[in-house]
Chains A and B, each alone.
Chain A
Amino acid sequence: MINIIRADFYRIFNGKGIYITVILFLLLCYATSIGEQVYIGVAVEDLDVEEDSLSRAGTLNQEEEVETKNKLGRDIPFVVSRTHDNSLYFYLALLFFVIGADFSAGTVKNTLASGVSRLKYYLAKGIELFTLVLVFMLLEYIVPTLFTTSLYGFGEPFDGQYFTDVMTIFGVQLLYSIAVVSCGLFFALWTKKTAVINSLYLSLCLIPIIAIMILSAYDVNLLELSKYEMITNIRMSANLLELPSEDVLRMILVGVTYLAMSIVGSVLVFRRTEIK
């Protein structure tokens, strides 16, 4: 299994794709941290809104305002956690590097025909994916923090409570990130077609949350379903420290359930699948 991981990392890091992905990802992290530094209010006069509506709203004749909020280095991990779900789209690239490329090139047969068991192949791919997700998440949290610290300073001293708070949110978001890519890995082993993998993965990230929003317009009780939806939980985990403990526990259990189901599904589906 370790040989597969070493060979795959040799292949991935000898290509250009991973470096392009890292650069774009860091740009996203940079943009996220910088974006939170500036808040621009829109001049109400410029809006095409009826005058009496505006006066009722009490916002008529407000001046355009530009407000700069100087976030410090210590604030950035919490800022990043609020937009972490954007990173999921980059993890699609990781899915391609690790396993999509194998099915696209047809090289899975070479590996399995050389005496590598399907379970070992799956475990190796899983470990590679989860490792890359962890590395990307560390980049996501650390790089903007360092950048902002270099500009505006870190703020209050780095203490144990701060570290625990950050790591708690990081941990839950890591769990969900791994669960999402694990579902992507399941799609890969099930369909073995890159285009279908991409479609299913993006659908997983977009459709449930949109569907719940639409359904809850007809029945607000259906909004409860969002507690069991991954993207919503990733966004909610940014406010983890303010949530009641039962919500936190539910959030963790939901993430673990998705992860476990995707692992079991992957093993079952890959065990007997025909490899072309």
Chain B
Amino acid sequence: MNEIVLKITGLTKKYKGVVAVDNLDMTLYSGDIYGLIGKNGAGKTTLIRLITSLSKADKGDIMLFDEEKKSKLDQARRRIGAVVEMPAFYPNLSAMRNLEYYRRLKGIPDKKVVNKTLKMVGLEKVGNKKFKNFSLGMKQRLGLGLALLNNPDFIILDEPINGLDPVGIIEIRETIKSLNQEYGITMLISSHILTELSMVATRYGIINDGMLIKELDTNELDEKCKKSLVLTVDNVASAAGIIETELQSFNYKIISMQEIQVYDYLDNPSEVIYKLSQSGVRVSKFTEMGDSLEDYYISLVGGAVS
């Protein structure tokens, strides 16, 4: 089993009586790209702030790289790179000087790392531009650059593609993937843009009202979001009976009075329609469907967990 990079047990944080993080347990393994999903106010940023010590938990434990004691946790955090909320830099310093400041602060001896980092995030041509003159997308890139500056083992990114144009989004996505695949960097990424997250993450945590309501990996997500045939029929009860008796399948769901969702026979939908028609059930429409991460998330948060 991969090394545990982050282990959270019973973490709780309240703000003036409002529970922002509620008895949360979470584990990240080395090499994970963990997508943290949740609506505004769900507790994603609060959780990230607790991990990065910007906020103090009321209860619970955080273990980073096997370190649990407070004195060792600070040392362990030196192996982390993080961008929490909007990237913050000194507005009157250039991008280069800002990164140079952090190079010195983190005690990184290699002076070339600043230029290398600017190149990695596509800011090598604007290194002498003052941060206050940067666009939002450029600020996000510089924030990512800061997270990468000390060659971290674990990167935390809070909404990293906010404000980026489509090209920028693709570049960040490819950077994230290559950092994970080439260097084995573990990542925790929170995002509202589920389609983007689904293209990079290997594990997902769905957080709602401060609680981690579901944790699953890509295989489990594929299973939950699996493809199906949705048939519009004139008699749903009869259709269900025929699917069970004639097609030997119990892998279906009645969606409404006229719709039934079948998870088998995806490569041979005509067989299903034929059997139903033969038994007197009229099929007026059929559609191939596949739940997206977004659909799955809404189904979890909006109602009962399926």
Main secondary structure of the interface of B (DSSP, over half): loop
Q: Does B90 contact A101, Cβ atoms closer than 8 Å?
A: yes
Q: Which of B74, B75, B88 contacts A110 (CB 8 A)?
A: B88
In the assembled complex, the CB of A140 is this many whole angstroms from the nearest CB of chain B, namely 27
In the assembled complex, the CB of B282 is this many whole angstroms from the nearest CB of chain A, namely 61
Q: Does B53 contact A6, Cβ atoms closer than 8 Å?
A: no
Q: How far is the CA of A121 from the CA of B90 in the complex (A)?
A: 17
Q: How far is the CA of A276 from the CA of B86 in the complex (A)?
A: 10
Q: How far is the CA of A113 from the CA of B92 in the complex (A)?
A: 22
Q: Does B80 contact A115, Cβ atoms closer than 8 Å?
A: yes
Q: How far is the CA of A106 from the CA of B85 in the complex (A)?
A: 11
Q: Does A3 contact B106, Cβ atoms closer than 8 Å?
A: yes
Q: Which of A6, A112, A117, A276 contacts B104 (CB 8 A)?
A: A6
A155 within 8 A of partner (CB): no
Q: Which residues of B lie under 8 Å from residue A105 when comparing CB positions? A: 88-91
Q: Which residues of A lie under 8 Å from residue B77 when comparing CB positions? A: 113-115
In the assembled complex, the CB of A82 is this many whole angstroms from the nearest CB of chain B, namely 37
A48 within 8 A of partner (CB): no
Given A272-B56, A274-B55, also A113-B93 (CB < 8 A): no
In the assembled complex, the CB of B106 is this many whole angstroms from the nearest CB of chain A, namely 6
Q: Which of A6, A110, A112 contacts B146 (CB 8 A)?
A: A110
Q: Which residues of A lie under 8 Å from residue B84 when comparing CB positions? A: 109, 113
A132 within 8 A of partner (CB): no
Interface residues of B in 52-88 (CB under 8 A from A): 52-56, 74-82, 84-86, 88
In the assembled complex, the CB of B57 is this many whole angstroms from the nearest CB of chain A, namely 11
Q: Which of B92, B102, B107 contacts A15 (CB 8 A)?
A: B92
Given A15-B92, A115-B77, also A10-B106 (CB < 8 A): no
A193 within 8 A of partner (CB): no
B1 within 8 A of partner (CB): no
Q: How far is the CA of A218 from the CA of B278 in the complex (A)?
A: 107
B18 within 8 A of partner (CB): no
Q: Does A109 contact B54, Cβ atoms closer than 8 Å?
A: yes
Q: Which residues of B lie under 8 Å from residue A86 when comparing CB positions? A: none
Q: Which residues of A lie under 8 Å from residue B91 when comparing CB positions? A: 105
Question: Which of A109, A113, A272 has the most chain B CB within a 10 Å cutoff?
Answer: A113
Q: Which residues of A lie under 8 Å from residue B105 when comparing CB positions? A: 3-4, 7, 111, 114, 116
Interface size of B in residues (CB-CB distance below 8 Å): 34
Q: Does A7 contact B102, Cβ atoms closer than 8 Å?
A: yes
A275 within 8 A of partner (CB): yes
Q: Which residues of A lie under 8 Å from residue B104 when comparing CB positions? A: 3, 6-7, 10
Q: Which residues of B lie under 8 Å from residue A274 when comparing CB positions? A: 49, 54-55
Q: Does B101 contact A11, Cβ atoms closer than 8 Å?
A: yes
A14 within 8 A of partner (CB): yes
A59 within 8 A of partner (CB): no
Q: How far is the CA of A201 from the CA of B266 in the complex (A)?
A: 73
Q: Which residues of A lie under 8 Å from residue B89 when comparing CB positions? A: 105, 107, 110
Q: Does A113 contact B100, Cβ atoms closer than 8 Å?
A: no
Q: Which of B86, B90, B100, B106 contacts A114 (CB 8 A)?
A: B106
Q: How far is the CA of A15 from the CA of B58 in the complex (A)?
A: 40
Q: Does B56 contact A110, Cβ atoms closer than 8 Å?
A: no
Q: Which residues of B lie under 8 Å from residue A116 when comparing CB positions? A: 74, 105
B186 within 8 A of partner (CB): no
Q: Does A113 contact B53, Cβ atoms closer than 8 Å?
A: yes
In the assembled complex, the CB of A15 is this many whole angstroms from the nearest CB of chain B, namely 6
Q: Which residues of A lie under 8 Å from residue B106 when comparing CB positions? A: 3, 114
Q: Which of B55, B56, B101, B146 contacts A10 (CB 8 A)?
A: B101
Q: Does A115 contact B76, Cβ atoms closer than 8 Å?
A: yes
Q: How far is the CA of A60 from the CA of B90 in the complex (A)?
A: 63
Q: Does B97 contact A275, Cβ atoms closer than 8 Å?
A: no
Q: Which residues of A lie under 8 Å from residue B49 when comparing CB positions? A: 274-275
What are 19 A-B residue pairs whose CB atoms fall within 8 Å in the complex? A4-B105, A7-B101, A10-B104, A11-B101, A105-B89, A109-B52, A109-B54, A110-B146, A113-B52, A113-B82, A114-B78, A114-B80, A115-B75, A115-B76, A115-B79, A274-B54, A274-B55, A275-B49, A275-B55
Instruction: Give the interface of A toward B (CB within 8 A).
Output: 3-4, 6-7, 10-11, 14-15, 101, 105-107, 109-117, 272, 274-276
Given A113-B54, A115-B78, 9 extra CB contacts under 8 A: A3-B106, A105-B90, A106-B86, A109-B85, A113-B53, A114-B150, A115-B76, A115-B80, A275-B54
